[in-house]
Copies of this chain bind each other. A is one copy, B any other.
Amino acid sequence: MTITIDPQRLWNSLMAMAEIGPTENGGSCRLALTDEDAAGRRLFMEWCEALGCTVRIDRIGNLFVRRPGRQNDLDPVGVGSHLDTQPKGGRFDGVLGVLAGLEILRTLHEQGIVTERPLELVVWTNEEGSRFAPAMVASGTYAGRFSVESTLARRDRDGVTLGEALENIRFAGDMPVGKPRFASFLELHIEQGPVLEAAGESIGVVTGVQGMRWFDVTLSGQAAHAGPTPMLSRRDALAAAARLIDRLQAHACHDPDGDSRVTVGCLEIDAPSRNVIPGKVSLTVDLRHTKDGELDALEALFHRELASVGDTFGVTVQSERIWQSPVVHFHQGCIEAVEQAAQWQGVQYRRMMSGAGHDAVNVAAVAPTAMIFVPCRDGISHNEAEYTSPEHCALGTQVLCDALLKRANEA
């Protein structure tokens, strides 16, 4: 039996979703639980309801679209991703995983195919973490990492809680968080890195996800007039921050494995003025590695360098680890289902670790899980220029379909 998804219908859906919260340069802006996110969710729900599926919403706004199987007393096989974006996000990050699941439901519906286990297509709330830190908070709550109450109480920069934002857009559901449990869970996603494209490969069989740690750092020196303060008398918080960033970058760039990742994404000077030596600087640090032991070493190096610039520049330093995610290894059976599906397509693929966090990382704590990557142009993501070709979107969706059906029809 050959079940083939419809590449054009998939692409049309992706482009239609991108018209919600469009940005100047062709990307999308649907920050979690804003009006744009709500509009994207409603469009998605209309599409699902047209297939006769039932949409349920849990207390933290996760959407669950059920397609019954032959044995509805069995746990469903889950598939999905997220619809929220970065402030200047692309058209594929998250959206592809959701709309690939929709395309599979449409194909099954069209062909009148019923799986053994029921299917459950999921849209996770606030994956990006741009509006409410941390990222992937809703799948983390589903997996029991956070309490529902603490998640509802997370605040954005304007002080609005996640719970209030859910109420505002009428997406606070009543299904208990953590339901339903999955027999398996699969997530298709764009790679968000340049590895597949550079190697000329079409599918990444994702075997796990690198560990990540997030820090908030403050450097406090002494604001003073730029002109008359001799260089050696200064306690310049920005000069200290610059040295810290440069040292961490240099270390990560010379890591022989190439598996260290260091990113300072935010940096703010307190009361900046062009002729005032910065007295206080706040910045974020994002550390990642594919091995927990190496990530420990990277964190230790970060703390040493931070202390060192504190001494050198006469600034006091503070750092707080606000979030972490250990290295995750996916489920062998799920990985093999994906690998087999890739082989069926006869395309070049590789087993690889994900460099980014995904909702599947959280789900992996409570259900057999794996992921599929497709290349994205120049490895660019979290950016309006993000692009994956219609062919790669379709290929990833077909591999997802085949792996999903394998898991859904297994004994």
Q: What residues of chain B lie closer than 8 Å to A229, measured between beta carbons?
A: 192-194, 261, 355, 379
Type the 1/0 row for A237-248, where 1 means its CB is closer than 8 Å to any CB of B. Answer: 011011111100
Q: What residues of chain B lie closer than 8 Å to A272, measured between beta carbons?
A: 265-267
Tell me which of B88, B214, B265, B275 contacts A265 (CB under 8 A).
B275
Give bound CA distance, A31 to B354, whole Å.
50
A307 within 8 A of B: no
B249 near A246 with CB under 8 A, answer: no
B194 near A288 with CB under 8 A, answer: no
Tell me which of B224, B265, B274, B383 contacts A380 (CB under 8 A).
B224
Tell me which of B191, B242, B258, B277 contacts A245 (CB under 8 A).
B242
Q: What residues of chain B lie closer than 8 Å to A271, measured between beta carbons?
A: 87-88
Interface hits, A249-290 → B, CB 8 Å: 249, 252-253, 255, 258, 260-267, 269, 271-279, 284, 286, 288
A382 near B223 with CB under 8 A, answer: yes
Tell me which of B133, B192, B246 contacts A239 (CB under 8 A).
B246
A135 within 8 A of B: yes
Q: What residues of chain B lie closer than 8 Å to A262, measured between beta carbons?
A: 231
A130 within 8 A of B: yes
A224, closest chain B residue (CB): B380
A199 within 8 A of B: no
A236 within 8 A of B: yes
A224 near B382 with CB under 8 A, answer: yes
A227 within 8 A of B: yes
B258 near A232 with CB under 8 A, answer: yes
A226 near B267 with CB under 8 A, answer: no
A242 near B249 with CB under 8 A, answer: yes
B252 near A383 with CB under 8 A, answer: no
A249 near B236 with CB under 8 A, answer: yes
A112 within 8 A of B: no
Tell me which of B135, B227, B245, B274 contacts A275 (CB under 8 A).
B135
A218 within 8 A of B: no
B276 near A226 with CB under 8 A, answer: no
Main secondary structure of the interface of A (DSSP, over half): loop
B269 near A231 with CB under 8 A, answer: no
Interface hits, A175-212 → B, CB 8 Å: 191-195, 210, 212
A129 within 8 A of B: yes
B253 near A192 with CB under 8 A, answer: no
A2 within 8 A of B: no
B266 near A274 with CB under 8 A, answer: yes
B258 near A230 with CB under 8 A, answer: yes
Q: How far is the CB of A212 from chain B (nearest CB, A)?
A: 7
Contacts A222-B380, A227-B355 given; indicate if A86 touches B284 (C-beta within 8 A): no
B383 near A222 with CB under 8 A, answer: yes
A279 near B356 with CB under 8 A, answer: no
Contacts A261-B226, A286-B275 given; indicate if A231 touches B255 (C-beta within 8 A): yes
A286, closest chain B residue (CB): B226
Which residue of A261, A276, A354, A357 has the most chain B CB atoms within 10 A of its CB atom? A276
Q: How far is the CB of A22 from chain B (nearest CB, A)?
A: 16
Type the 1/0 row for A335-378, where 1 means its CB is closer than 8 Å to any CB of B. Answer: 00000000000000000001111000000000000000000001
Give bound CA distance, A284 to B277, whole Å.
11
Q: What residues of chain B lie closer than 8 Å to A87, measured between beta carbons?
A: 271, 273
B265 near A267 with CB under 8 A, answer: no
B278 near A265 with CB under 8 A, answer: yes
B286 near A223 with CB under 8 A, answer: no
Contacts A242-B249, A246-B239, A267-B272 given; indicate if A223 touches B193 (C-beta within 8 A): no
Nearest first, the 10 closest Cβ-Cβ pairs linking A and B are: A193-B228, A228-B355, A242-B245, A227-B356, A226-B263, A227-B355, A274-B284, A242-B242, A265-B274, A266-B272
- 9 further contact pairs, Cβ within 8 A, besides A129-B275, A192-B229, A224-B380: A88-B271, A193-B225, A225-B355, A227-B288, A227-B355, A232-B258, A243-B246, A263-B274, A263-B275
